Structure 1
């Protein structure tokens, strides 16, 4: 980590915090999963989100943004696939709005991790985001150990923020409010994720 300065790390953490606190498919889906299925599901969903984001960040180091620039059709194809997944997920959330809250099975808990993974994989713009952030904050060449340290910071920030959200969303008071307003909350979350999916599809 000799080629990294602490002010760069702090700047990366601040940038990540702002990005993570901005409402998007990840946060809205995490909220709905945590409200509906409890802390275990929320934490697993958050783990999937964090791992996918870190993989996108590693792709940025590997030069994926350059591949997208050379092969724009690949970027468009990935956006279409990602948008289709987000729209499908939005429909599932919307359709579940009038269903009662039930205890989640072990199978569904495992699906929570997969769902989080796919949700953040659905947006290939993440690779462009990390490429821009890394070039801006770390303009000099980085060693592999420094890149690994940066990826560790990215994953740590992802998990810290998502875990905080889950702990808030799964308090007894929050879940009680959700149960009373489940239909409204689920439709709001589903509509938000759907709009974000459509925007990913339209802005090609």
Structure 2
């Protein structure tokens, strides 16, 4: 078995940084919350989609492809602006759904059937936030020694994916628990609107950071 170039402290720091990042409320968790209070299967599908998106960002960073993106003028800002547009679209749809349920309380109380689109929605939501690329790039630049082996890189990917699956699927299961649904289903229109506002605010924050750099 190859000897890891990372110390035990490195592995603990890596895991702690990843856990701190994914437990912080953001679009991914708000999406799982708004789906979970209606349907468990949809929330779990979305959780898997979220983790597939995270896996893509992890692989791009750990394989060093993020340096290629940074070397192409305008590539990262273009990704950020495109992702922001998608986040705003998802946010507006969520806000509209919340207003629609307020006008029709019976619709808000109804349990919606599992959606085949939930997985895709989780994937798109995660990929629409290119700031994840910056996070992973910064994390790996600190944690990965220059001569890190492929064993180390593969082990890091496996560790982060395992932690992510446990967290996001666990959150989806908790949000879709019957007792939780009973408490929050009546508030689902407001949760939709709050989630939508979070999507829009995150997108606007990304735009506010990106545009000034393009103008200079």
Confirm or deny: 8 A CA contact 2:91 2:196 kept in the other structure. Answer: yes
Q: In the TM superposition, what are the counterparts of 1:43-192 in structure 2 within 5 Å?
A: 43-97=44-98, 98-99=100-101, 100-101=107-108, 102-105=110-113, 108=115, 110-192=116-198
Q: 1:29 aligns with which of 21, 28, 31?
A: 31
TM-score (structure 2 length as normaliser): 0.86
Deviations 1:97-136 (A, max 9, x none): 1331444445x2x211111111111122212211111121
Per the TM alignment, residue 67 of structure 1 is displaced from its structure 2 partner at its CA by: 2.1
- Quote the residue 2:104 is aligned against: none
SS in 2 for 1:116: helix
Number of aligned pairs? 201
- Consecutive unaligned residues of structure 2, counting only runs of 5 or more, are 102-106, 211-216
Runs of 4+ in 1 over 4 A off after TM superposition: none
Cα deviation for residue 15 of structure 1 reads 0.7
Q: Distance in 2 between matches of 1:181 and 1:69?
A: 43
- Aligned partners of 2:202, 2:134: CA distance in 1, in Å? 17
- Cα distance, 1:91 vs structure 2: 1.0
Q: Is the 8 A contact 1:91 1:194 kept in 2?
A: yes
Partner residue, 2:19: 17
Contact between 1:56 and 1:130, CA under 8 Å: does it hold in 2?
A: yes
CA RMSD of aligned residues (A): 1.6
Counterpart secondary structure, 2:185: helix
Q: In 2, distance between residues paired with 1:131 and 1:42? A: 28
Structure 1, unaligned runs of 5 or more: none
Moved more, 123-132 or 82-91: 123-132
